[in-house]
C-alpha cells in the first residue's frame, strides 16, 4: 500500500470515528442510519483504493513506454539526419558551349564546342573523386569522347591534399582554372595555351597541393611527379625535325622517363596573386608525323632529351576590373645521335588580358594580346582579341569575340576570325 492510500484510509477512518462516537448517545434509528452511512463510506474507500492501485500500476508502466517511445523517436531523428548531414556527397557540374565561327578566308559555320560533365564523389572531409569527360563533335560529324582528368584527392590536413591520377596541369593559371568556356572571358584560348605545345595541359602521376599562411600574406602551391610528355617529329629534307610536344596525360609512360614540376604563388594583398611555375625531366620522340596526311607512325628506341618548362602568371582584381597575364616557355633539348637525331626546339607564349564589367549593367568588355613563338614559322602568331559579353547570369554568358591575327601571309595563323558563343556552366 502506498503512502497516498494509507493517508486516505486514515482520513476515512478518522471521519468514520468522528461520526460513530456521537452515535453512542443517539437513538437506535439514528444509530442504524449512521451504520449504513459508514458502510457506504467503506465501500467508497475500497473503490478509491482500487482506483489508486490502477493509477500506481499505470505509473509503473508509463516510464517504460516513454523510454521505448523516446528511443524510437531518437532513431527516427537519426535516420532523417543522415540525409541532412550525409557521409557521402555526390555532385554533378560541368559546362557546354555552342556558337558560330566565321574565319576571314573561309566559310562560316555553326559549331558545338564541347559538352563537359564534371563528377565529384566525396566521403566526409577525407577523400574525393573528381573527373571530367569531354564530349566533342568533330568537323566530320563524329562524336569524340575524351577523359579530361580523373583523380582521387586525399585531404591529408588543412594544408596538404594528395592528388593521384590524371589531373589538369598546375603550370600557370589558364589550364587549371580558366579554360572552361563559361569562365574564359573570350571565345578562344590564347595561342600557345591550348593543345598546341607551349603550355602543358594535363599530367598523370602524383601531386601535393594546398595553401598556407606566409606571415600576413597567403600562399598556395602544387608539386608533382608524372609521366613525361611525348614528342612528335617530321622527316623533311633528309633530316628529322621536332614537330610538337604532346604534354598531356598518357595512360602509360612510353619511354619510362618522369618529369617533376610545380607552381608556387603568393597573394601579397587582396585581389592580387603572383605565381611562378617550372617543370624539368626527359622527353622522347615517340611518333613520326606525315606532313601530308597527318598520320603518326610510332617510333621506338629514340634517345631521351632534356625537357624544361618555366612560367609566370599574375591576376589582379580591382572593383569591376580584372587584369591577368601569363608567360610560358617549353624547351626540348637536342639529340646528336640516334634514329631521330635533331636540333632542339622551343615553344613560348605570353598574353595579357583585361576585362571590365560596366557598372550597373550585365555587359563586359574584354581585350587580350598574345604573342606565340614556335620553331615553325608558319605557326608564329601575334593576336589581338576583342570581346563583348552579356552575362545573362553569372554562369550563362553570350560572347562576341573578334580576333585580329598576324602571322605568315596565307597561313592559318594569319586568319582573322569572328566568333559568337553561348557558354553555360552548371
Which CATH number is associated with domain 86-425? 2.40.160.10
At 409-425, the pLDDT tens digits run: 988 899 999 999 999 99
pLDDT at 39: 80
pLDDT at 13: 46
How many CB atoms are located within 10 Å of the residue 251 CB?
Answer: 8
Question: What residues contact residue 416 under an 8 Å CB cut-off, 6+ apart?
Answer: 103, 104, 402, 403, 404, 405
Averages of pLDDT over each 10 residues, the chain, 426 residues? 50 47 51 75 74 65 63 70 76 96 92 94 96 93 94 97 97 95 96 86 97 95 96 81 89 89 97 98 86 74 92 97 98 87 93 97 98 93 98 97 95 95 97
d(CA 217, CA 137): 45
Q: Which of 256, 210, 209 is nearest to 230 (CA)?
A: 256
DSSP per position, 167-201: EE--SSSIIIII-STTTSSSSSPPTTSSSSSSS--
Report if pTM > 0.95: no
pLDDT at 80: 64
Question: What residues contact residue 390 under an 8 Å CB cut-off, 6+ apart?
Answer: 362, 363, 364, 397, 398
Q: Tell me how far the alpha carbon of residue 200 is from its chain's centroid.
A: 20
How many CB atoms are located within 10 Å of the residue 376 CB?
Answer: 18
For the record, the C-alpha cell of 406 comes out as: 598576324
For the record, the C-alpha cell of 172 comes out as: 600557370
CA angle 146–149–155, rounded 5-degree value: 160
Q: Are 118 and 130 in contact (CB under 8 A)?
A: yes
d(CA 187, CA 366): 11
Distances (CA, A) of 35 to 13, 49, 373: 13, 21, 125
Question: What residues contact residue 83 under an 8 Å CB cut-off, 6+ apart?
Answer: none
DSSP per position, 57-83: HHHHHHHHHHHHHHHHHHHHHHHHHHH
Domain ranges of the chain: 3-82, 86-425
pLDDT at 36: 76
pLDDT at 251: 87
CA angle 72–77–79, rounded 5-degree value: 95
Q: Which of 166, 174, 323 is nearest to 263 (CA)?
A: 174
Four-residue CA torsion sign, 197, 201, 206, 208: positive
At 121-144, the pLDDT tens digits run: 999 999 999 999 999 998 888 999
pLDDT at 14: 46
pLDDT at 191: 95
Amino acid at each position: 500500500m502506498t503512502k497516498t492510500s494509507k493517508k486516505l484510509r486514515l482520513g476515512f477512518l478518522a471521519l468514520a470515528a468522528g461520526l460513530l462516537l456521537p452515535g453512542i448517545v443517539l437513538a437506535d434509528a439514528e444509530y442504524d442510519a449512521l451504520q449504513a452511512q459508514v458502510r457506504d463510506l467503506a465501500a467508497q474507500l475500497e473503490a478509491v483504493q482500487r482506483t489508486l492501485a490502477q493509477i500506481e500500476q499505470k505509473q509503473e508502466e508509463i516510464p517504460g513506454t516513454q523510454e521505448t517511445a523516446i528511443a524510437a523517436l531518437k532513431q527516427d531523428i537519426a535516420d532523417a539526419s543522415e540525409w541532412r548531414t550525409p557521409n557521402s556527397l555526390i555532385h554533378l557540374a560541368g559546362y557546354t558551349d555552342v556558337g558560330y565561327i566565321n574565319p576571314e578566308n573561309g566559310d562560316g559555320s555553326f559549331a558545338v564546342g564541347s559538352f563537359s560533365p564534371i563528377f565529384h564523389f566525396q566521403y566526409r572531409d577525407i577523400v574525393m573523386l573528381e573527373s571530367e569527360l569531354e564530349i566533342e563533335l568533330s568537323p566530320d560529324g563524329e562524336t569524340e569522347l575524351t577523359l579530361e582528368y580523373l583523380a582521387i584527392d586525399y585531404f591529408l590536413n588543412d594544408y596538404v591534399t594528395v592528388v593521384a591520377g590524371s589531373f589538369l596541369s598546375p603550370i600557370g593559371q589558364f589550364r587549371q582554372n580558366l579554360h572552361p568556356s563559361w569562365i574564359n572571358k573570350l571565345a578562344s584560348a590564347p595561342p600557345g595555351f591550348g593543345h598546341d605545345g607551349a603550355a602543358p595541359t594535363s599530367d598523370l602521376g602524383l601531386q601535393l597541393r594546398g595553401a598556407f599562411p606566409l606571415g600576413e600574406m597567403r600562399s598556395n602551391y602544387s608539386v608533382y611527379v608524372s609521366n613525361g610528355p611525348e614528342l612528335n617529329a617530321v622527316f623533311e629534307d633528309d633530316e628529322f625535325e621536332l614537330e610538337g610536344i604532346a604534354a598531356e596525360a598518357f595512360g602509360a609512360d612510353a619511354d619510362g622517363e618522369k618529369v617533376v614540376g610545380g607552381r608556387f604563388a603568393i597573394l601579397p594583398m587582396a585581389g592580387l596573386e603572383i605565381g611562378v611555375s617550372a617543370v624539368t625531366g626527359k622527353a622522347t620522340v615517340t611518333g613520326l608525323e606525315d606532313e601530308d596526311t597527318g598520320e603518326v607512325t610510332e617510333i621506338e628506341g629514340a634517345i631521351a632529351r632534356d625537357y624544361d618548362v618555366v612560367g609566370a602568371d599574375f591576376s589582379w582584381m580591382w572593383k569591376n576590373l580584372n587584369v591577368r597575364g601569363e608567360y610560358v616557355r617549353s624547351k626540348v633539348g637536342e639529340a646528336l645521335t640516334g634514329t631521330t637525331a635533331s636540333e632542339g626546339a622551343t615553344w613560348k607564349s605570353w598574353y595579357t588580358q583585361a576585362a571590365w564589367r560596366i557598372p550597373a549593367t550585365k555587359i563586359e568588355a574584354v581585350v587580350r594580346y598574345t604573342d606565340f613563338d614556335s620553331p615553325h614559322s608558319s605557326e608564329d602568331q601575334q593576336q589581338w582579341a576583342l570581346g563583348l559579353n552579356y552575362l545573362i547570369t553569372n554562369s550563362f554568358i553570350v560572347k562576341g569575340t573578334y580576333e585580329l591575327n598576324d602571322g605568315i601571309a596565307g597561313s592559318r595563323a594569319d586568319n582573322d576570325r569572328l566568333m559568337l558563343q553561348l557558354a553555360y556552366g552548371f
